[in-house]
Amino acid sequence: MIIKVYLPILFSIFSFKICFAQQSAENKADSITQIIESANVIKDIEKVKSELIELANVYEHSGSWDLHKEVVDEMLKLAHKTSDKVYEAEVYNILGISNCLGGRNQVALDYFSKALAINSELNDTLSISNSYENIGRVYKDLADYDKAIIYQMKSLKIRENCNHPRLVNNYTALATVYQKLQDTINHFQYLNKAKIAISKHDNPDNFQMAIIHNEIAGYYNTLNDMDSALVNYKLVAYYSEKGNWKRGMAVGYGNMAEVYFTYGEIDKAIEMHRKVLKLSIEIDDCMGIAEEFIYLSNLYNEMGKIDSALILANKSLQKADECGLDHEKLSAYEFISEIYENINKPALALEFYKLFHVLNDSIYNLEKHNSITEIETQYETEKKEQQISLLSAENKIKNQRIRLGLAVISVLVLLVIMIFFLMRMRKKNAQIAQDDLKQKLFRSQMNPHFIFNALGSIQNYMYKNETKKAAQFLGNFASLSRSILKYSSEESISLEEEIETLTNYLELEQMRMKNAFAYEFIIDQDLETEFINIPPMMIQPFIENAVKHGLKEVEKDGKITIEISDKVDVLEVTILDNGIGFGNSQQNKDGNHESMATQIFNERMRHLKKKNKHIPDLSIQNISEDENTGTKIHLFLPIIK
C-alpha cells in the first residue's frame, strides 16, 4: 500500500490574499475583455489591476486553470506596459502558486525567486518576507529541508520585528518541516507557537483553523496517537467545508482515509478517497485525480479485487500522461508491474517494468538539469541580497568606532561579572557535593544499625521457634537486606519502593512477635506512589523504634498506623502506635537520651534543608498526655524532582 502524506502545498498561504469568495467566476465578469473595456471607459488602470487579481483568485479557487492562465498573462502584460514593479512581483507570486498547485515546483521556485529579486530591488521588507516564506515552502515540497528552514527563518526574523499577523504562517511551515525531519521537540515548539499566534486573532478565519488542526493532527501522527489525529483531521474537513475550500476538504478527507486504513477499515478508507477524487475532479486538479486513482487502486488490491485495481491504476496512468505528471506515471508503472507479477503474468509485468525504468532515467536527467538551473537562480538571488547588504553596510560604517568602544567596555564588564558568577557557582557546587557525600555517609550508617537489630530478632526467633519458620524468617530477612543495601546507595527512591520495604520489615517483626501487633498504611488517594521520589530509609527507623520500644511489652492488640499525605512539595508522614508511650520507654527513662535513629534522621534532615528550606521539623509526643500512653511521630520528607 502506498501511503499518502497529506501535508502538501495545498495548505500554503502565499504572499497575496487568496479570495475564497462564494460566488462563481461568471458573477465577477463574463470575460477579461469586459473588465478591460469597462476600466478603459473610466480610465482607471488601478481598477483593471485589482479586478484581474480578484478574477485570477476566483479562477484558481474554482480550478478553472485555462481561464486562470489567460487572466495572469494579461496581468503580466499590464505590469510590463505600466512599468509597475510591485504589480509584476505580485503576478510572479500568483504564477508561483498556480505552478505549486500543479506540482511544478521548479517552475514555481523560478517565479518566486523573480518576485524576491524585485522586492529586494524595491527594498520592500514585508514583501521580501513573503517571498522568503514562499520559497521556503517550495523547498519543503522538494524535500530540501535545510533550505526550507533557512528561508522560513529569514521570513520569521523580519516578521517578528514587527509582530506581523502572518507569523502563524511561518510557525506552521516550520512545524511541518520539523515533522518531516522527525524532530518532535521543534515540531511541537513551532506548532505551539502557531496556536498561540492564532489565539491572538479576534476572528481567525476557517482557512487558518484548517491549517492549525492539520498541523496538530500531524503532531499526533508522530506520536502514533491515531485517535487524536483522526479528530483533528475531521476538524480540517469541517473548517474547509465552512469556508467552501475544496482543496482543504480534500486534505482532511485524504488524511482521514489513511487513519482508517491504519485501523484496517478499508471500506471507510475507500469512501474517503472517493470523496477526495470527486473534489479533485471538481477543481480540475490533475495531480490529485491521478493520485486518488492510484490510492484507490492500492486499496482494491489490498481487498483482493485485482480487476478493479488494474482499471483504477490504468486510469491514474492515463490522467498522469494527459497532464504530463511524470512522477505519478512512474508510480502507476511500478504498481501495475507489481500487480501483473503477483497474478503470474510475467510478460506484462516486464513490459511495465521497462517503462518504469525508462521514465525513471529520464526524470533523473531532468532533475539533474533543474538542479543546475536552481544553483544559477540561487546565485543571482544571493547576488542581489549581497548588493542590499553592501548598501546597508555603508550606512553603518560611520558609527562603528563609537559602537566598537562601547562593545569593548561592555565585554570587559561582562567578563568581570562572568568570573564572579563562575567563582560563586563553583563554591556552591562544591558545597552541594560535600553535602551529598555526607548524605551517603549517613545512609551507610543506618544499614549496620538496622541489620544489627534485625539479626538480634532472628537470633531470638531461632531460640524460641521451629526450624522451618526460622528458615522462612531468614529468607524474608535476606530479601529485606537486599532492598536496604540497594536503596542505601541511591539518592532517592520511589514512595512505592519505600512502602514495600516498610511492609517487608513489619511482616518480619510480626513473625518475631507472634502477631502481637497489627499495622496499617493510610495513603492519600491523590498520591501516585510510583512517580513520587523521596530520600530512602527515612521512615523505617521510627517504625523500628515503635516496634522495639513502644510495643516491647505488648503481647496482643498492638497497632501501628502509618499515614502519608501530600502537603505541596513535601510528604507528611505520621506514625502512631498504642504502646507504652514516649516517656515510658527504657531509652527515655535513662535521661535525655536521643536514639541513634533520631540522631541520624536529624543530621540527614539538616543537610536536606539546605536544598529544601521549607521542610517542617520532626515532632515526637504521646498520643494521650494525661495517661502518657501511645506515641505519635510527625515528620516531613521532601519530594525529590
Burial of 431 (0-12, 13-18, 19+ CB in 10 A): exposed
- pLDDT(439) > 60: no
Q: Which three cell numbers stand for residue 618?
A: 520532626
- pLDDT(638) > 60: yes
Q: What single-letter DSSP state applies at residue 539?
A: S
Q: Which three cell numbers stand for residue 427?
A: 563554591
Q: What is the pTM (predicted TM-score) of this model? A: 0.42
Local structure of 492: helix, strand or coil: coil
77 vs 247: CA distance, rounded Å: 29
Which tops the pLDDT comparison, 284 or 395? Answer: 284
Q: Which three cell numbers stand for residue 390?
A: 553592501
Query: In this predicted model, what pLDDT tens digit does every residue of 296-335 receive, in sequence order?
Result: 999 999 899 999 999 999 999 998 888 888 888 888 899 8
* Helix H or strand E segment including 575: strand 570-577
Per-residue burial over 260-299, b = 16 or more CB atoms within 10 Å of its CB, e = otherwise? bbeeeebeebbebbebbbebbeebebbbbbbbbbbbbbbb
Which stretch, 369-378, 402-411, 577-586, has highest mean pLDDT?
Answer: 402-411
Query: In this predicted model, what pLDDT tens digit does every residue of 602-616 receive, in sequence order?
Result: 888 888 887 777 888
Local structure of 623: helix, strand or coil: strand
- pLDDT(27) > 80: no
Query: In this predicted model, what pLDDT tens digit does every residue of 121-138 receive, in sequence order?
Result: 999 998 999 999 999 999
**If you average pLDDT over every residue of the chain, what do you get?**
80
Domains of the chain, earliest start first:
426-638 (3.30.565.10)
576 vs 563: CA distance, rounded Å: 8
Local confidence band at 565 (pLDDT 50, 70, 90 cut-offs): very high
Arithmetic mean of pLDDT, 198-224: 78
In single-letter form, the type of residue at position 379 comes to: Y
